[in-house]
Amino acid sequence: MSFQVIIKPSDRVFMVEDGDTVLDAAIDAGISLPYGCRNGTCGACKGQILAGDVNDGDYFESALSADEKKTGKALFCCAQPLSDLVIECREVAGDGIPPRIMPVRVEKLEKLSHDVMRMTLKLPVNERMQFMAGQYVEFLLKDGRRRAFSLANAPYHDRFLELHMRLVPGGQFTHYVFSEMAEKTILQLEGPFGTFYLREDSQRPVIFVAGGTGFAPVKGIVEQAVHHGVQRPMILYWGARTRQDLYMDELPRQWQEQYPFFRYVPVLSDPTPDDAWQGRVGLVHEAVLQDHPDMSAYQVYCCGAPQMVAAAHRDFQQHGLPEDEFFSDAFTFANPVTKA
C-alpha cells in the first residue's frame, strides 16, 4: 500500500510506500525537505500535519515536545503515513542531489589526535560523487547497519572524500577503523545526505558552532566558500574539552590570518593545567551569546552532539535568531542511523 503526500504551500506531490518515512520517500522523489540526523534527534525535519495520520516512530523529546505533537507537529524523518497526508514544511531551494551507492577504497588513515582519525577515501576511476559542502555519507555495513560521517572536503576537490572519525567508546565500527582497518580496504557507502550546507542566496553574517568533530562539515563549507569567492562575514566557534581535542586548530587560525571576513573563537569546556589555556572557557554556544546577545541578524550553522545542538537552537531563538536561519547536523549514536 502507498499513500499520497501533498506539501504546502508548494503543492508538490509524492508517494510513500508502506513502511517508509515521509523524509525517505521525499528524498527518493528528488524533493528537498530540510533534515539532518535522519533518526529523530536534531529536529531539522520538523513540520506540520495539516490532514491525515502518521505513526510518529521513535524520536527524542528534545526534537519534538509533547505540546508540539498535540498541535500536529511531526518529525518527517521518523513519521510513517497511516493515510494520505497534507503537510506543511519548508523546502530547500533547488532539487536535491540523489544519493548513490558506490564502492570506495581507503586511501589513507591518519591520526589527527589521540581519538580522531582522518580517513581519505578514493572513488572508482572515472567516478565522482556530486555533493554539497557539509553533507554526509553513510557506510553500508555487512550486517545491514549503517554508520554516517560528515564530508570534510569541499566538492571542488572531489577525487577523494575526507572524513573525520572520533573513536566512540564501545563503538564497533570506529574501534575497527582505529585498531584493525588497513589502507586499501574496500567499503560501500551511500550519499550524499543532509541539508547542512551554506545558503548562498543570503547575505547574513554566518556563525558556525562546532563541537568536536562537528568541525568536519564546517571545514568543507568554509573551503568551498573561499573557492567561490564568498565574502560574507563568518565566525567559527569551535568547542572542545581540552586543547588536544581541537585536532586541527592550526587550520582555522590560518584562515583567520588569510581571509579578512573570517574569525575563529576556540572554546574549551574543561582545559587541563598542562593546556596553559588563555582562551575562552565554558560551553561553546554560551560563548556565542556572550559575544552576540542579539542574534536577529545572523545565520547559524550548528554541528555536534545533540545536546549542544538542542541547547543552541533553544537559546539562540530566545535571543532573536529567526527559526528559519538555524541549520543543524546532530551527531548521534543511536539506530537506525548512527554517527559513530
Stretch 306-331: mean pLDDT, rounded? Answer: 92
Q: What is the pLDDT at residue 93? A: 64
Bigger pLDDT: 61 vs 241: 241
Give yes or no: residues 151 and 254 share one domain: no
**Boundary-marking domain end, from 41, 63, 88:** 88
Stretch 15-41: mean pLDDT, rounded? Answer: 87
User: What CATH number has the domain bearing residue 250?
Assistant: 3.40.50.80
Q: What is the pLDDT at residue 36? A: 75
21 pLDDT band, cuts 50/70/90, is very high
Give yes or no: residues 225 and 315 share one domain: yes
Between 34-48, 162-176, 246-260, the lowest mean confidence (pLDDT) is in 34-48
Give yes or no: residues 52 and 129 share one domain: no
**What is the three-state SS of the chain?**
CEEEEEEECCCEEEEEECCCCHHHHHHHCCCCCCCCCCCCCCCCCEEEEEECCEECCCCCCCCCCHHHHHCCEEECCCCEECCCEEEECCCCCCCCCCCEEEEEEEEEEEEEECCEEEEEEECCCCCCCCCCCCCEEEEECCCCCEEEEEECCCCCCCCEEEEEEECCCCCHHHHHHHHCCCCCCEEEEEEEECCCCCCCCCCCCEEEEEEHHHHHHHHHHHHHHHHCCCCCCEEEEEEECCHHHCCCCHHHHHHHHHCCCEEEEEEECCCCHHHCCCCEECCHHHHHHHHCCCCCCCEEEEEECHHHHHHHHHHHHHCCCCHHHEEEEECCCCCCEECC
Grid cell 591518519 is found at 110
141 pLDDT band, cuts 50/70/90, is very high
143 pLDDT band, cuts 50/70/90, is confident
Grid cell 518529525 is found at 75
Q: Which three cell numbers stand for residue 88?
A: 506543511
Give yes or no: residues 162 and 265 share one domain: no
Is pLDDT above 70 for 103? yes
Would the CA dihedral through 166, 172, 175, 177 be positive or negative?
negative
Q: Residue 150's closest CA among 333, 335, 330, 285?
A: 330
Name the percent of the chain lying above pLDDT 90: 75
Q: How many domains does the chain have?
A: 3
Q: What is the pLDDT at residue 252? A: 98
Domain assignment of residue 300, yes or no: yes
Stretch 153-178: mean pLDDT, rounded? Answer: 93
Is pLDDT above 60 for 339? no
Give yes or no: residues 46 and 74 share one domain: yes
Between 24-38, 201-215, 219-233, the lowest mean confidence (pLDDT) is in 24-38
Give yes or no: residues 326 and 239 share one domain: yes
Give yes or no: residues 111 and 80 share one domain: no
Stretch 169-198: mean pLDDT, rounded? Answer: 94
User: What CATH number has the domain bearing residue 140?
Assistant: 2.40.30.10
Domain assignment of residue 199, yes or no: no
Range of the domain at 36: 2-88
Question: What is d(CA 8, CA 101) in angstroms, rounded to the nearest whole number?
Answer: 31
Question: What is d(CA 245, CA 116) in angstroms, rounded to the nearest whole number?
Answer: 8
Give yes or no: residues 75 and 107 share one domain: no
Is pLDDT above 60 for 94? no
Bigger pLDDT: 52 vs 335: 52
**Boundary-marking domain end, from 193, 228, 257:** 193
336 pLDDT band, cuts 50/70/90, is very low
Is pLDDT above 60 for 333? no
Grid cell 568551498 is found at 224
User: Could you give the maximum distance between any two Cα atoms of the chain, in Å?
Assistant: 63
User: What CATH number has the domain bearing residue 24?
Assistant: 3.10.20.30
Q: What is the pLDDT at residue 296? A: 98
332 pLDDT band, cuts 50/70/90, is low
Give yes or no: residues 187 and 266 share one domain: no
Give yes or no: residues 82 and 121 share one domain: no
Summary mean pLDDT of the chain: 92
Give yes or no: residues 49 and 116 share one domain: no
338 pLDDT band, cuts 50/70/90, is very low
Pairing of strands 186-193, 100-113: antiparallel
Domain assignment of residue 248, yes or no: yes
Domain assignment of residue 222, yes or no: yes
**Boundary-marking domain end, from 27, 56, 88:** 88
Angle at 241 between CA 209 and CA 296, to 5 degrees: 20
Domain assignment of residue 107, yes or no: yes
CA–CA distances in Å: residue 266 to residues 171, 181, 188, 194, 236: 27, 32, 35, 26, 8
Stretch 261-271: mean pLDDT, rounded? Answer: 98
Question: What is d(CA 92, CA 98) in angstroms, rounded to the nearest whole number?
Answer: 14
Give yes or no: residues 158 and 182 share one domain: yes
Domain assignment of residue 288, yes or no: yes
